[in-house]
Amino acid sequence: MIIIGNREVNGNELKSSAFKAEQIEMIDKMDRYQETYSFMNRQHFQFTLQIRYATIQAARDLLASKAKFTTFERAHCNERFWHLTEQGGFKLKQGINPADAINDIFQNGVEYGFECATAMVIIFYKAVLDSINNAQFNRIYQGIYLRDWQSDNDLPIYTRRGNDYLPGDCLYFDNPQFN
């Protein structure tokens, strides 16, 4: 069920030819699931679709970047932008624009190695960066520290259990072969 500004809206009313296939899928699933998806107004709804699509695209772009998955102990980064901490995290260097540092991961992925939770946070930052302008991103995310699920207070990450999901969600699956 989709609620926009205290009014239930049929998903078919919201679809537009301007939306990507993944965004149409998001609308269809929101409309079909028992979960209530509430938005303040149409702009909030459209921004949500945009950021979810940007998350999908950032995941594709990270794969194309050739960055590697590794352990915290073997993490590595472009030291022009990041300080590699003893814990295997990446701390933004003083005087570096956060937007430039995040974009570098995607442009020079071969210089990077991190574990999967850090990869998800990187994807979320990139999705936000691609959904707002660089100046806003640089102002909001000045002290980026990439490690595990740590993120800026202005990049809240919510978790929940369930069987319904939307494109752009981060999903974990039980894998009995891996603890």
The two three-digit tokens of residue 146, written as one number: 């990439």
- Selected residue with higher pLDDT from 55 and 179: 55
Q: Place 14 in a pLDDT band, splitting at 50, 70 and 90.
A: very high
pTM: 0.91
Q: Place 163 in a pLDDT band, splitting at 50, 70 and 90.
A: confident
- The H helix count followed by the E strand count for the chain is 6, 8
In this predicted model, what pLDDT tens digit does every residue of 26-77 receive, in sequence order? Answer: 999 999 999 999 999 999 999 999 999 999 999 999 999 999 999 999 999 9
In this predicted model, what pLDDT tens digit does every residue of 67-113 receive, in sequence order? Answer: 999 999 999 999 999 999 999 999 999 999 999 999 999 999 999 99
The two three-digit tokens of residue 12, written as one number: 């078919």
What value does the mean pLDDT of the chain take? 93
Query: What is the DSSP code (8-state) at residue 79?
Result: T
